[in-house]
Chains A and B, each alone.
Chain A
Amino acid sequence: MIFQTPILALLLISALSAVVMLWAGWFALRLLLRWDLASGSRAQLEMERATDLVSTLFGFVMLAQLLSLLLYVFNADRMATLFVGAMCAVGTLNNNDWGFPTLYGKLAIFFVATMWLILDRADRTGHDYPLTRVKYALVLVIVPLVLVAGALELTYFLNLQADVITSCCSTEFTPETEGLGSDMSSLAPATALWLLGASGAAVALVGAASLIWKRGTTLFAVAGAVFFVVALTAIISVISPYVYEHPTHHCPFCILKPEYNYFGYVLYAPLFMGTAFALGAGLLQPFRKVESLAATLPARISKHVTLSLASFVVFGLVVLWTIWKSQLILFG
């Protein structure tokens, strides 16, 4: 089962990421122990140079992991025909217990890597490496995450069995069965839309406050994260049915299929971007008083807030357009 090209590609990416991260982790340890900006010693200079390499590698890993996330979902969808009972990615991922955890792991890596890169860029604007220690402490947190996600992925693929009858989105995402998926889909559409609207308004207000009065950015990050969760719930509970024009089809993966014009990507991309920027802004907020960053960081934070708000607005527009265009009538 493992000898399928997309799977081999995914495992390759995980393996490369793991190797890179292990080295980065080891470097991070060395740096945290020996970093001393005042010393002009050769070792210090070499460490400073090596930080450039780590930044480049992180960028590479993040892009590779993003590709990996897309490939993973796309491939799960295509592989659905191999499993009895599976009609889309959900069935493939449900083949054993490791499919969904792997997906969550990849999502987590995407967010964490993006935030690290945001921190890294901010660090480089200060002439005394102001955030370097924080950055590399964060690396030590990211390394195990990447390793665990890679292990989950390997376990998932090794345990894929064709003869297991798996459940499809129609069982996973219906109100009747048990589980998170069904809890989300059983949320009444009207409630879901109200929640979406309310959390969207909250995000917009807090974001505006952050831009105008330069306060509350941390709250904005939290609001962004909450909006992300609410949006996902809304996608399952009410937006997907509008896309499928079918009141009981709640699957969040089927919208990525070609028969729906890959609409899922248009929906998810701004949502993910908006959340990433919101979290990034929140991450940078505590450092705005650092001396070497004081001149540029506040503007940078504002830029992230603006980008986040813009992305969320795009998401909102896409949602509204879907509802307006759909033949399905859920209300009235």
Chain B
Amino acid sequence: MISLKTVSKLYNEGRPNEVCAARDIDLELARNKVTVLTGPSGSGKTTLLSMIGCLTRPTTGRVFVDGDMVSGLPEKFQTELRRTKFGFVFQRFNLIRGISVIENVMLPAAPLGPEYHELRERAQNRLERLGLGAKADMPVEFLSGGETQRAAIARALINDAPVLIADEPTANLDTVLTERFLEIVGELQAEGKTVIMTSHDPRIWQSSHVNTVVRMQDGRIIGVDA
């Protein structure tokens, strides 16, 4: 479903602090599978994830989603793609402070100007599914670590995107919550979604819910285990 062909990424190109974060990556990611990118810090997994999720353009090479080349699209269309195809959960969950949980969940859809009550209902639905229905109107500062993560997932699901992208989703969670997270991933896969995430955590790549593990080092892929 997602292909990368000889993709490289250079940061600060042409400047003294130029760094090559990813080198000649060729990768195929299948639909409806759970894939984990793993490797030590600086191995390029977050960069790769960025490029898969169209958050940044590769310096060279191409990215295809469902057969369409997306890496060369104008930014506006990449955003549209991001909105419709991908849902993001970041390392620090990145909820916006000062607004409530449900408002955070509604944010990705807001610029399209959908009908308010319909959107709110949708958001409430997602929250309930993740056990946060009662905390919908609470300011996000009052959520625990696990709750914040679930709120972030609810936000990632608001547009019914087929692909969930998560960067180190369990980095700040204990074993119980990590388990819970993996269960949710399993549920999403059962619904037909594709999940791609990065993680250092062995519990993740050793989990039965994970289909493929991609190992990286120094910006290159050194192995793919199915």
Interface on A for B, CB 8 Å cutoff?
A: 37-38, 40, 42, 45, 48-49, 124, 127-129
Please determine whether A129 and B74 come into contact, CB atoms closer than 8 angstroms.
Answer: yes
Least CB distance from B5 to A in Å reads: 14
Which one of B13, B60, B74, B77 contacts A42 once the chains associate, using CB atoms below 8 Å?
A: B13
Residues of A within 8 A of B57 (CB): 40, 45
Q: Which residues of B contact A127 (CB under 8 A)?
A: 73-74, 77
Partner of A49 from the list B13, B60, B75 (CB cut-off 8 Å) is B75
Q: Is the CB of A40 within 8 A of B76?
A: no
- B14 contacts partner chain A, Cβ-Cβ < 8 Å: yes
A48 interface neighbour in B13, B59, B74, Cβ under 8 Å:
B74
With the chains together, A264 CA to B206 CA distance in Å? 76
A40 proximity list for chain B (CB < 8 A): 57-60, 71-72
B interface, CB within 8 angstroms of A: 13-14, 57-60, 71-77
Instruction: Output the nearest chain B residue to A124 by Cβ-Cβ distance.
Output: B76
CB-CB < 8 A to B13: which residues of A? 42
Complex alpha-carbon distance, A17 and B173, angstroms: 55
- Whether the pair A42, B73 counts as a contact (CB closer than 8 A) is no
- Bound-state CA distance A45–B75 (Å) is 9
CB neighbours of A38 from chain B (8 A): 72
If over half of B's interface residues share one DSSP class (helix, strand or loop), that class is named, otherwise mixed; here it is loop
A40 to B51, CA, bound (A): 14
> Interface majority SS on A: helix, strand, loop or mixed?
loop
Residues in A whose Cβ lies below 8 Å from that of B14? 42
| Residues of B with C-beta under 8 A to A128 | 74
**Minimum distance in angstroms from B24 CB to a CB of chain A:** 16
Within the assembled complex, what's the spacing in Å between the Cα atoms of A48 and B75?
A: 8
Tell me which residues across on chain A come within 8 A of B71, comparing CB atoms.
40
Contacting residues, chain B, for A129 (C-beta < 8 A) = 74
A288-B60 Cα distance, complex, nearest whole Å? 33
State in angstroms the CA–CA spacing of A239 and B52 once bound together.
64
- Shortest 4 CB-CB contacts between residues of A and residues of B: A127-B77, A127-B73, A48-B74, A129-B74
In the complex formed, the residue of A with least CB distance to B72 is A40
- In the bound assembly, the distance between CA atoms of A48 and B73 in angstroms comes to 11
User: Whose C-beta in chain A lies nearest to the C-beta of B13?
Assistant: A42
Give Cα A254 to B72, complex, Å. 56
Question: In the complex, what residues of B have CB within 8 A of residue A45's CB?
Answer: 57
Instruction: Please name the residue on chain A nearest to B78 by beta carbon.
Output: A127
> Please, could you name 17 A-B residue pairs with CB atoms under 8 Å apart, sorted by A?
A37-B72, A40-B57, A40-B58, A40-B59, A40-B60, A40-B71, A40-B72, A42-B13, A42-B14, A45-B57, A48-B74, A48-B75, A49-B75, A124-B76, A127-B73, A127-B77, A128-B74
Q: Which chain B positions have C-beta within 8 A of A37?
A: 72
Complex Cα gap A42–B60 (Å): 11
Given contacts A40-B59, A40-B71, A42-B13, 13 further A-B contacts (CB under 8 A): A37-B72, A38-B72, A40-B57, A40-B72, A45-B57, A48-B74, A49-B75, A124-B76, A127-B73, A127-B74, A127-B77, A128-B74, A129-B74
* Closest partner residue, chain B, to A132 (CB atom): B74
Q: Which residue of A lies closest to B68 (CB)?
A: A127
Closest to B77 in A: A127
Residue among A40, A42, A124 with most chain B CB within 10 A: A40
A126 to chain B, nearest CB (A): 9
Nearest-CB residue, chain A, relative to B73: A127
Tell me the bound Cα distance from A38 to B74 in angstroms.
11
Q: Identify which of A48, A127, A129 gathers the most chain B CB atoms within 10 Å of its CB.
A: A127
CB distance from B80 to the nearest CB of A (A): 9
Q: Which residue of the partner chain A has the closest CB to B80?
A: A127
With a CB–CB cut-off of 8 A, which chain B residues contact A49? 75
**A54 CB to nearest chain B CB (Å):** 14
The interface residues of chain A lying within 8 Å CB-to-CB of B77 are 127
**Chain A residues positioned under 8 Å from B72 (CB to CB):** 37-38, 40
